[in-house]
Structure 1
Amino acid sequence: MRTLCASTLIGEFFVIGFAGLVAMKHPDLSMGTVWTVCGIAMALCVLLCGMLTRPGALTVGWVLQAALVVSGYWVGTMFFLGVIFAGLWWAAIHYGRKVDVLKARHAAQAEAQAQDRAQAQEA
């Protein structure tokens, strides 16, 4: 799950940066405001990549997804991209957990087979 979620967050990092470039042309937003908000969001993406195994990290990721959708009020394309990334975030969590379960099951089976071989050799 961690790899899929981190990949989604890195993609968001770049999208947020490009959205900041577009938002700079908005007449009601100052450059300082745009880059403060974008910088915080981009830093959050990178920090979350390293904290995905900690409690609450996935919730913070969902808050980030919601913020991306809401940012569409200033940069219209972000409505679309925010929904796309929210879907990717859901898929990364959902299918990532399934992959983790399958990996654990496979590791347990391999361990059991190794123990069976060791017992067979002893006998």
Structure 2
Amino acid sequence: MRPMPPAAKLPTASPVVVAVDFDSSIQSLSALDAAAYRLIGTATCQVDRAGDRYICRLIASNPQAGAVLSSDQLKERFLNLVTDENLRARVAKQTEGVRNVILALAFGALASNQNDAG
């Protein structure tokens, strides 16, 4: 006996796609890449350069559990992540000198302990 064909096809939801663009003279590519990385599991992100703009094309993932973000939610989440990455980069730059001093003191103390033990 042949299997019966399905009575109806379930409608498939079209993927949520969002394009966000940034001025490349203001926005760093590294922050966009880091924000895209943090979206893994929620969405995919393709970053392209078009002239003096970075175009980020976001496509919401279809997670096994949980709801898919709307286009507005996806855009807001990505912009928040980009802002966070920009702030992290700014703080790292401002505190670089202090971090280097702390590392120098820590490794200097380790080297001194190594010389005393030997």
* TM-score normalised by L of structure 1: 0.38
From the CA coordinates, give the structure whose radius of gyration is larger: 2
* TM-score normalised by L of structure 2: 0.39
Query: Which has more strand, going by share of residues?
Result: 2
The structure showing larger relative contact order (alpha-carbon pairs under 8 Å, at least 6 residues apart) is 1
